[in-house]
Amino acid sequence: MSSLHCSVVKCSESLSNRVSYIIRRYTDHMNFAACMTFSFIIFLHVLLVLFFIILYIYRCMFFICLFNFVSYVFSLLCFYILIVMYVLFCIFCFHCANWHSSATLTEVFPCFFLSCKANARV
């Protein structure tokens, strides 16, 4: 009976060692899986943050370029409006108002530049 008891004890010790080894391997695998999951989540988080930083930079660059383009177009528009107004002013002043008629050029301007000696006799 003693040999039977000894073999049962050895079997139970062997089984206990094997179960503890399986449990240890299982917990090691679970620990490794948890660490890998955690590191993967951190990696995805870093990628997401970098993506949003790059997206923010490109969005800022887009709006800066858009603002520069709009201000450039606005400046050109103002410049063209000034040119059109100047041309209309020239057309009005020199073609419609008759400021450059022969009477104006020969009578008024010399009188003005010569201190109106003709009107001084009157």
First-to-last alpha carbon distance for the chain, in angstroms, is 162
Q: What is the mean pLDDT of residues 84-102?
A: 70
Could you tell me the CA-to-CA distances from 122 to 7, 18, 38, 112, 115 in Å, in that order? 153, 137, 108, 16, 14
Is residue 111 very low, low, confident or very high in pLDDT (cuts 50, 70, 90)?
low
What lies within 8 Å, CB to CB, of 83 at 6+ separation is: none
Full DSSP string of 48-113: HHHHHHHHHHHHHHHHHHHHHHHHHHHHHHHHHHHHHHHHHHHHIIIIIS-TTSHHIIIIIHHHHH
| Tally of domains within the chain | 1
Q: What is the residue range of 67's domain? A: 2-120
CA distance 102 to 93: 15
Whether the model pTM is above 0.75: no
Of 33-37, 87-91, 99-103, the range with the highest mean pLDDT is 33-37
Q: How confident is the model at residue 24 (pLDDT cuts 50, 70, 90)?
A: confident
- Mean per-residue pLDDT for 18-38? 83
Query: Span 23-32, mean pLDDT?
Result: 84
Report the range of poorest mean pLDDT among 13-22, 34-43, 58-67, 100-109: 100-109
Tens digits of residue pLDDT in 3-12: 544 554 555 6
* % of the chain surpassing 70 pLDDT: 63
Task: Report d(CA 44, CA 46) in Å as an integer.
Answer: 5
Backbone angles phi, psi at 84, to 5 degrees: -65, -40
